[in-house]
Structure 1
Amino acid sequence: MRYKTLKISLVTVLVISIGLINFSNVYSNNQSEIDKAVDYLKSQPQTAWSTLALAAAGETGIDLSHLESAPSEQKSVNTYAKYILALVAAGKNPTSFGAEDYVDKLKSYFQNNQFGDEVLLNDDIWAILALGSIGQENLSIVQEAKDYILNNQNTDGGWGYNLASSDTNDTAAAIMALLEAGVADSSTAIQNAISYLKSLQNDDGGFPYLLDSTPDSCSDAWVISAIYKLGQDPTTLTWTKSGKNPLDHLKSLQDEDGGFWWQAEGDNKFCSPFTLLPLLEKSYPVETDYNKHTIRIEGDQNTICNAQVNGGTVIDLVISGSEICGYDYSIIEYPGMGLYLA
């Protein structure tokens, strides 16, 4: 009898239970803005960021062909990270969807306790978020990158895209990455980062990229997503200044066609893909059916694995579980009978 075996080493599996974690629906008072933003993004050429946003909004039938391969001149930590995040949001497996295994390619950039360029921090931030989207936030390379970010926090509490001055966008992204990697929201690093963000909030409720610059929709979007990642509400008094909150300011920049102006009407709308997630009350990585599963595997003497894992199929979940829990497994394909898991 012919058969194919996928990565062999036997373990007895008695029970596999997979449950879906339920998350709350978005607030209805954002629905009008959400609907317009979705229509706008659907009318534009697709990018990894717009695909991620539309998938987060529950859109289906999104053209994913632009994620099938990374252009050679753009291959980098950040490119692979955003491809992974977009594909996971769309319910696809980033290890097999494209011409390359995007996860392996991302990991190949790890060196000297960090990802990519040692002068940059944003590549470490997005590598953590991408690997977190597939349930690999506890890998040693992720934890080392987490420490690299922590060790390079500026004295003002923030981070920049590189080892220089802080900005709101990268500080917000760093907060999300550190939380994803297991840093407590009560930690000194996170609390100092929150204080940095609050120190830059303007009287109109909005956030600028840098101190004394004009608030913009990109900065609003990143900060609001970080606030949701913290489990906080951006419309409460904690994030209100002079009676205005960041969501108020973000909404004020939405054009009639659903896109979002950068700083003021008439400039540009390149921030639009980032604005949908905060309207949806979501953060990074986006939680979808692909990455909301819990797997429990019982052996004959003890529990082999009980963890949150990511995948579009049961086989994906078993493979992801093995990477987290360290168990061995066999998947054998018998002609005419399907797959057998042992």
Structure 2
Amino acid sequence: MSRQTMDSLVLLGCISLWAGLALAEVGSFSNCTEYFYRGAEPSGLHTPRTAEICQRYKNQYRFATLYDKANRIPRWSAYILHPSNCPGQPWRLGKWFMEPQLRSNQAVSKDYEDTSYDQGHLNPNSFQCDENHRATFTLTNAAPMNPCFNRIHWSKVERTLKTQLTGNCSNLGGTPYLMTGAVPSNNVKIPIQDEDKEWDRDRPYNRVSVPSHLWTAVCCNHQDKTHKFSFAFLGENKEESKLSNLSVDQLNEVLPCLYNTPGQIKIFKDDCGSKSQKGQEVLLAIKSALYNTFQILLSDSYSQLLPPVKMINWTGRPPR
């Protein structure tokens, strides 16, 4: 083999390696505040083991993520909805990117092999187009999700939400800011040895926390206050999932209980028009569409989504 051929093979190997790496900016949100409502990041969800990530792809910042290095899942991703239908765009990509800066503190695709969980997006790939779409396929934007929850319950909420936000926010001159978060589980991590069909191989187990809950907070910012609104969704990451809609203020109240953190949590800098008539109309349209089209029922009672012990700690009384 000639020296020129060897050099070409090395170059191709390097290109192949870097194709699987995403060169995000880890350590600060200073270059991606545009993805936060009023430029303010959420408060109360940092820990000593979280990393601030400005998700960058092809030299542009695409969204923001607070990554939990201890549990190897994102605590949340903040993003803006792209209103286009993105014609001709593939639904999914075959490869997920990695962040070389985080190295051993993040999940890898092999962690999901031979498990009963999907690699679920927090910033949904269906909400983005072109390079923004590709940028969502980073492992720092993924968490293990139950397939029924991810592909049926949560997916239908995302699809309906995109339709309503496009028509009632983006197309009316508003900016739809969204945040989707994952609550790490204390006792379920993948890979799980009992699920591994090739259990005799050399593979580390119990690396990536399976979230107990997923949540999404929505804020449509608009110069006309009558078109400004916000609300949130909360769901259990399991096959027979319960889904609830709630105000952002209510989400702020329940998240400290779910994350088991003593301090206050604030998702948006203010309530973003949480009591507006427009928000109630949009939420009603979402609930009606989910039920009429997919027979998915959104509940107004979010306390039922809390585990019994956490519900007692939060409400002072056991579940009914």
Question: TM class, shorter-chain normalised?
Answer: under 0.3
More strand by share: 2
Q: What TM-score does the superposition give when structure 2 sets the normalisation length? A: 0.27
More helix by share: 1
Name the structure, 1 or 2, with higher relative contact order (CA <8 Å, separation 6+): 1
